[in-house]
Amino acid sequence: MKAAEFYATQSSISDPGEFARLFDDLPDDIPSLCKIVQGLILHYIWAERYGVKLSGDPLEDHKLRCVSRQLARIMQLDDSPLAVARPPERRLVGNCRDFSVLLAAILRHKGIPTRARCGFATYFIPRHFEDHWVCQCWNAKKERWVMVDAQLDELQRNTIYLKFDASDIPEGLFLPAGDCWSMCRAGNAAPELFGIADFHGMWYIGANLIRDLLSLNKLELTYFDIWGLMPEFKQKVFSPEYLETMDGIAASTRGVDPSQSRVRTIYENEPGLRPPPGWKPCDKE
């Protein structure tokens, strides 16, 4: 299957299921769709800036994983059409991955090749590579993949003094995890600069590398999905064999347009990428 055909169809995770009809009347242009997604999801780290004090598990909604389950939660909180922005306190609470996957679901519904990418952004904190997800969609007019940050609404853009169009991120400002792994392995960047909060280093880059490889295979995981080749929490020592395997995965996922056939071959031939027995994508956690 050609990459365009592969990424133009839903994954088991992005499939809206019975809620597909909610996408039918949504606009086609990326900035409008980003604004709609921003009106449906509240990033848990930014919640207080919107006047929302979260209680309990702030990532309970994120653990729903599948778009169909998250849409059910969105409509439970407020059954208005999706184009109607919810007050912050009535939004699904999630993170950057959820903004990216929901946008991917909408665009795939419209037949537009789209994939979520896991890596690190340079535009949140100076001289730091922040753990982040963005969305890549195929722009037929420009004949190229376009990086889109669906999370950054006006409040967030103003807070971080964003100087570029978040619906077409300039090359180099968001780096897929494979690029970051290779940079650090070559000694061109310090692993401790990559991560979020107290979580950083090669183990974290490695986990995001696996998430990106799996997302390129349309298995868009949450941060609670940890298995196989993903490094252990704060792991510091890696075997030469493990590093060689991860170097190969990084080489196959680097850049804006990795080979879909190559990442598929790696997924099919590396047992450490397979979900554990009994894992079902639309089961909570």
- Does residue 152 sit within a domain? yes
- Rounded Cα gap, residues 30 and 17, in angstroms: 22
pTM exceeds 0.75: yes
pLDDT digits (tens, 9 = 90+) for 243-261: 999 999 999 999 999 999 9
Q: Which domain holds residue 236?
A: 3-273
Tell me the average pLDDT across 115-119. 98
| pLDDT exceeds cutoff 90 at 2 | no
**Containing H/E element for 268?**
helix 260-269
Residue 86 CA to its chain's centroid (Å): 22
Residue 284 lies in a domain: no
Q: Are 201 and 233 in contact (CB under 8 A)?
A: no
How far apart CA 222 and CA 140 sit, in angstroms, is 29
CB of 73 closer than 8 Å to CB of 92: yes
Asked if residue 224 belongs to a domain, the reply is yes
pLDDT grade for 285, boundaries at 50, 70 and 90: low
Q: Would you state the structure tokens that stand for residue 183, as one six-digit string?
A: 């940079």
Note the pLDDT of residue 234.
92
Exposed / middle / buried, residue 149 (Cβ in 10 Å: 0-12, 13-18, 19+): buried
- Tens digits of residue pLDDT in 156-176: 999 999 999 999 999 999 999
In a domain, 51, yes or no: yes
Element (H, E) at 117: strand 114-121
Query: If we measure between CA atoms, which residue out of 130, 125, 162, 164 comes closest to residue 147?
Result: 164
DSSP 35-54: HHHHTTEEETTTGGGGT---
Whether 146 is in a domain gets the answer yes
Residue 283: pLDDT band (50, 70, 90) is: confident
- For 203-233, write each residue's pLDDT tens digit: 999 999 999 999 999 999 999 999 999 999 9
Domain count across the chain: 1
Over residues 27-45, the pLDDT tens digits come to 999 999 999 999 999 999 9
| Cα–Cα dist 205/219, whole Å | 18
Average pLDDT, stretch 115-144? 96
At residue 44, the pLDDT reads 97
Q: Identity (one letter) of the amino acid at 103?
A: L
Structure-token pair, residue 174: 């968001």
In a domain, residue 266? The reply is yes
pLDDT bracket for residue 126 (50, 70, 90):
very high
Residue 1 pLDDT class (50, 70, 90 cuts) = low
> In this prediction, what percent of the chain has a pLDDT beyond 70?
99
The two structure tokens encoding residue 161: 């003094």
246 inside domain = yes
Q: Report if residue 285 sits inside a domain.
A: no
